Amino acid sequence: MSDDRNLVDRVVVEPLDDERWTAIERGVIGALRTASIERALADARPARRWVWPVLGGALAAAAAVGVILARRAPDRAIDPTGDPAGAPALAIATDATGTRIDLGRAVLTVAPDTAFALARPGGGVDVALDHGAIELAVAHREDLPPVVVHAGDVDVIDVGTVFTVERRADGAVSVSVREGEVRIERAGTSTRVVAGQRWAGGELVAIDSDRGATTGPIAQTGAVAIPIGGPNDLLSRRHVAAPPRGAAAPHGHADGHAARSGAAAGIAPPAAADPIADLRAAIAAQPIPAASDVGTTDPTAALERYRRLATDDKGAQASGGLYGMARVQSLALGQSAEALRTLGAYVKRFPDGAELEAVLWLRLRILCRGGIDDACRAAAHTYLGRFPDSDRAGLVERITVARQ
């Protein structure tokens, strides 16, 4: 049986050149990055393991600064996993660095020097804001209880959106909606605030969250429009007074006391002084390639048509349908979590799809909305791994090394 053993020498393996090996390696590493993001997305649905240390740390901080906000506790259940357990509300306070709390279907990005109580009644999210600012990114709640933020006499009710609630020391409350819509209830009246609007003291003004420019008053005038993500955006203040690179600051506290005093004074330096804000503005300024035309401008109808394309068709039609779905979900309906799932499905189903670059860019843009964090940088790595020669490569490379 071993007569042909010399065939081993007859079949000479033709080596691959370095260029091909580099391309293969890039593909493998790129796929690993994508897979890690998909795992992270999947893991984000149930509560994440690191929520406990984060909440624990926040609790310790609360004790340290003596902020007690548990006055609403007796009638609230609390469990970061969403299971009501009859426990009191968590009192949380942040120091000068702020924090991010991932509750699965709701992510809270908390500005520096913010104090609030967090409860999970019946799987909902109930935030009582004492002072400071919180941005909430809330996946569509479907049959889950809504997310409610109480800020003084203002209740902000949300069922799937991205918005920021600020309560200043003087008690003034403002709400900026970046995606979707929220309902604000105050003194028996209900006001609907949609994406691109800011509510402050009963007044609505228009903001353009993507371009960071004021587009004009909507209702009563007199209020100042503050572009989300712009230099005056409250959640960006933590970056404005960051010490120069290399300055002595404990890990994770790079903003130091300067940020605290800057926020306290309500003074924000020009955007040019904040590289992170610049980066976010540059991301927002990048165009998002259009999806195929489905003959309607109504987002809900368009979503349905794209969904039909994605499920009923094959090949380019189906890939275009999935991309169109994600685009509508993210840009028109403010459903970031759904959009990310749709984009994940695209990558899985069409790893070499015609819209892949647009898909990875949209994913990056969504994940970077909350700031330049690990998820954002991972999305940038994924994009760069697949499209290193893209026109956006320079910008994306900056994201991969950015630290806030």
Instruction: Please state, in angstroms and as integers, the Cα–Cα distance from residue 339 to each residue in 120, 283, 347, 391, following that order.
Output: 25, 18, 12, 24
Nearer to other proteins, 3 or 143 (CB): 3
Nearer to other proteins, 34 or 191 (CB): 34
Nearer to other proteins, 22 or 190 (CB): 22
> SS3 for 329?
helix
Measured CA to CA, the distance from residue 114 to residue 1 in angstroms comes to 78
Least distance to other proteins from the beta carbon of 344, Å?
16
Least distance to other proteins from the beta carbon of 19, Å?
11
Handedness of CA 129, 106, 146, 326 (dihedral sign): positive
Residues forming the site for other proteins (CB under 8 A): 1, 3-8, 10-11, 13-14, 16, 20-21, 23-25, 27-29, 31-32, 35-36
Nearer to other proteins, 35 or 224 (CB): 35
- Backbone φ and ψ for 145, nearest 5 degrees, come out as -60, 155
Least distance to other proteins from the beta carbon of 124, Å?
33
Nearer to other proteins, 75 or 352 (CB): 352
Query: Which positions ≥6 away from 175 have C-beta within 8 Å?
Result: 154, 156, 163, 164, 165, 166, 182, 184, 193, 198, 199, 200
Beta bridge partners of 149: 127, 156
- What is the Cα gyration radius of the chain? 24
Least distance to other proteins from the beta carbon of 4, Å?
4
Least distance to other proteins from the beta carbon of 53, Å?
18
Least distance to other proteins from the beta carbon of 15, Å?
8
Nearer to other proteins, 9 or 170 (CB): 9
